[in-house]
Structure formats: C-alpha cells, structure tokens
Amino acid sequence: MAVDMNMPILIVDDYKTMLRIIRNLLKQLGFNNVDEATDGSQALHKLRDKSYGLVISDWNMEPMTGIQLLREVRADAKLKDMPFIMITAESKTENVVAAKAAGVSNYIVKPFNAATLKTKLTSIIGNF
C-alpha cells in the first residue's frame, strides 16, 4: 500500500532549532504536513484533538518527558496503536530498554542524519 505522504506528523522537542531541523528533513523526504509541540503534555493535547499518522518525540523535556508521553499514548484506547519514534541524546542501554518496554516503535539517537531518519520511517510506514 502506498504511503500517504500527506499524513499529519507530530514532532515534539523542547529545542525550537531541533523542531526546525526535523521539520526540514521531513520536508526533504516529502512530508509537508508536520505539526509541532514543545513537550509531552502539549503533544498529548494535540494528539487528542487531531488525528496524526506518526509521532516523533524527544525524551528529555519538561514538564512531561517523551517516555511519559509514550506511556500516555499507549494507555489511551484511541492512540495506543500510533507509531512512535523516539529521537533523543539518551543513548544508554537502560533508556532503550525502558522505551521498548513502554512500546516505542523505533529509536534514533542524536546527533542523527537524514538517512537514519528515512530508514526508521520506512521500517514503520513502508517504502516511500
């Protein structure tokens, strides 16, 4: 099945520059329908208000972290199947284990490149 290149994607990061970088890289990959949030709680509100096809979230944010957002998403009957990619500088094994236990779809460690982002997206939504 062809990937819907117009699917809404929510990117979550407390660094505005990082949001801008991810948005630009997604645009280069052909995804133009991108929305932003600067922490987990803001993201959760947006996810409950609008239908998204994918979440790409940082881990280390306040007041709600990425792992807390992931747990909220997985606990929500309407959102539980949402593809969720963590993009974070948290590269310890214990972090990856905790994210996997919480139900993360894929995990990208910062600093990352466009090729890695494309590979992880493809593994979740298929070739585009």
Partner 1 sequence: MTASAVSPVLEERLATLQQQRGGSLASGDIVAVVESILATMDGDLSQTNLKLYAELESLARYITEAKSEIASLRPDEIRSQHLPTATDELEAIVGATEQATNGILSAMEVLEGLTGEMSPELGEKITEAVTQVYEACNFQDITGQRITKVVKALQHIEQKVDGLLAIFGADVAASRSVDADTASETAEEKDKKLLNGPQLPDAASSQDEIDKLMADFN
Which residues sit at the interface with partner 1, rule CB under 8 A? Answer: 13, 15-18, 20-21, 24-25, 28, 59-60, 65, 67-68, 89-98, 100, 106-114, 116
CB of 35 to partner 1, least distance (A): 18
Nearest-angstrom CA–CA distance, 26 and 81: 22
Kindly compute the dihedral angle of the four CA atoms of residues 99, 62, 25, 34, in this order, to the nearest 10 degrees.
100
Q: Which is nearer to partner 1, 2 or 17 (CB)?
A: 17
Q: How far is the CB of 49 from partner 1 (least distance, A)?
A: 25
Q: Closer to partner 1 at the Cβ: 25 or 79? A: 25
CB of 91 to partner 1, least distance (A): 4
- Using CA atoms, how far residue 7 sits from 10, 14, 16, 29, 86, in Å, is 10, 23, 22, 13, 18
For partner 1, the closer of residues 51 and 91 by Cβ is 91
Provide the pairing of β-strand 54-57 with 9-12: parallel
Beta-bridge mates of residue 108: 87
- Nearest approach in angstroms of CB 75 to partner 1 is 13
- Among residues 2 and 31, whose Cβ is nearest to partner 1? 31
In sequence order, what are the beta bridge partners of 98? none
